[in-house]
A and B are shown apart, each in its own frame.
Chain A
């Protein structure tokens, strides 16, 4: 073995997460769902805790399943509340986000006083801890990530239409509701896969920032998606590198700081370049 297995796990985990969340985040940003990811990440917490309470196991697949179920419930509540009430989407998201997370915290604190529960690893879902990734988790991340990427590649044309003109898609008889569920499901998978690496709070940046950084530089969806994957995985790699070399630096926050720098650099550079073009060529 050439490199230490911890190093390999952290680097691989951050690479997978960066690219997968970059790709799915692109669609979230284009569909103006920048904060849906944040809501789902918070809503995953009670699912993780309940899955652990029911199974007594901390196997990555079981916790991911729990997170997915509660994320899915939250998503259904969110969309049906938006359909039936006059409330603003932001209002409903804030309510869903805080109450599901609160439920998760309450359950977690209930577990903590029960002497039989070994909690190690569960609280990592809050802020994430890439350094504690084990090979099992990385393998699960890799498989689920690959499924996401393959499905996006297969349904690329459909997702494209859904992102830019859902009304037209519906009028031409596409199964819009099914496609939307698939896309949301994939988003959810990319979120729960990232939770133990970067945690609940920072997950939103993993989804949104790569797409925001890539957007001004490409006129095609393919370009933007690939660009977001590159930005996400590069920042993932850089963050992992810094946290492995500098002591006391947590991985998730390091990645997110790199992502923030990437967004600002992208927007400023783009602005500069545009300013230098002759007026008639400016878009």
Chain B
């Protein structure tokens, strides 16, 4: 396999694993927990390397997962019963963990290769270089094994705990009745997210790990409300954005992880534009439609008010609408045209007459 192919594979697999873990995280409104966890792994990594006396992958993973769990526990401790909003608790805990990590690295680990820049941005470009070797044999790039295992673990997690996750996420109050412990399920999910973040951040860095976990699900949430569709869409968006970002980054020779994150942001903007209900274009159009409908209803009511009176032939004309309702002429013309299209009025010379349908509409409003 060539270098870029390996990088693309690692990026795609990591994105798939992240999307799988991200769905219930985002549905449970814990997206920023991913931000907290991904920034807190550093001290755990340092401690594990210190204990293992070297950059051992297994020890590093365990240490980092432990640090992630400690962060979530810290956030829970700060925000429980103390009237401190979870956001504020997160805002204190993760910079603290990151600061401890940075201090620890700069004080005792300058000789060991933990680069704080790499922690933030990852080193996916180097994915083909680091190989997994066992008794002198080369088993391929470590990152490939890591990201592949991640996808398998997360898929298994969803298969075994899918029902419980669904219950706890959508109907937490009834979870106890159904014999599901929300606390246990939550910690299982948090552990999986920690593991996912560890793998993702060694490939793409702390900040993009957040993007991979949250952004595809956010895009999918804009487009669908059905859970199975949400899963498929998150996977497609995550993997698609990773591959597209990788190609773009190669073309312009820029940071791969940064470009993938930016592409995700672009996809979010696109989804937000075209989304059927939540998109801003759809909402703008529906506001326009509402306003137009209101105009026509006003027109019909006005015509109904003066129907059969002496002044009917004066009041119920286009000219008069312009004068009395204070509408601009094109505006009035448009309303009249639309009312005719609906079949609510007909023109009798210059006088506007209600049809039977228009009359019943006006009555229902009045």
- Measured CB to CB, the residues of A under 8 A from B are 29, 32-35, 37-38, 42, 80-81, 84-88, 90-110, 113, 123, 126-127, 201-205, 207-209, 211-212, 215-216, 248-250, 252-257, 259-260, 263, 267
Contacts and interface: CB of A to CB of B under 8 A. Distances in A.
Given A91-B26, A94-B214, A267-B82, A205 B252 contact: no
Interface of B: 26, 29-35, 39, 78, 82, 84-85, 87-96, 98-100, 102-103, 106-107, 110, 116-117, 120-121, 207-208, 210-211, 213-215, 217-218, 221-222, 249, 252-255, 257-262, 264-266, 268, 272, 275, 278-280, 283
B69 to A, nearest CB: 18
Contacts of B95: 201-205, 209, 256
B265 A102 contact: yes
23 contacts: A34-B85, A84-B280, A88-B26, A88-B31, A91-B26, A97-B210, A98-B261, A99-B268, A102-B261, A102-B262, A105-B255, A108-B258, A110-B253, A127-B102, A201-B120, A205-B91, A249-B103, A252-B102, A255-B99, A256-B96, A260-B99, A267-B78, A267-B82
Contacts of A212: 78, 84, 88-89, 92
Nearest to A202: B95
Contacts of A248: 106-107, 110
Contacts of B84: 212, 215
A93 B249 CA distance: 24
A98 to B, nearest CB: 3
Given A90-B30, A100-B265, A109-B258, A253 B208 contact: no
B254 A110 contact: yes
Indicate the member of B92, B221, B259, B261 with the most A CB atoms within 10 Å.
B92
Contact of A205 (B29, B78, B99): B99
A102 B208 contact: yes
Contacts of A211: 88
Given A88-B31, A103-B265, 11 more contacts: A33-B87, A35-B90, A42-B207, A88-B29, A91-B217, A93-B32, A95-B215, A95-B265, A99-B264, A102-B257, A260-B100
A95 B264 contact: yes
A105 B107 contact: no
A102 B260 contact: yes
Nearest to A242: B103
Contacts of A209: 91-92, 95-96
B125 to A, nearest CB: 10
Contacts of A93: 31-32
B87 A32 contact: yes
A35 B34 CA distance: 13
A204 B215 contact: no
Indicate the member of B90, B215, B258 with the most A CB atoms within 10 Å.
B258
Q: Classify the interface of chain B: helix, strand, loop or mixed.
A: helix
Contacts of A107: 254, 258
Contacts of A88: 26, 29, 31
A106 B120 contact: no
Contact of A102 (B207, B222, B283): B207
A257 B100 contact: yes
B103 A250 contact: yes
Contact of B214 (A42, A81, A98, A103): A98
B96 A205 contact: yes
A204 B278 CA distance: 30
Given A85-B272, A99-B261, A32 B85 contact: yes
Contacts of B78: 212, 263, 267
Contacts of B92: 205, 208-209, 212, 259-260, 263
Contacts of B99: 202, 205, 252-257, 260
Contacts of A35: 32, 35, 87, 90-91
Contact of A201 (B39, B213, B257): B39
A42 B210 CA distance: 12
Contacts of A101: 207, 258, 261
Nearest to A123: B117
A255 B95 CA distance: 11
Nearest to B93: A260
A113 B102 CA distance: 27
A240 to B, nearest CB: 14
Contacts of B106: 248-250, 253
Contact of B103 (A37, A91, A254): A254
B221 A103 contact: no
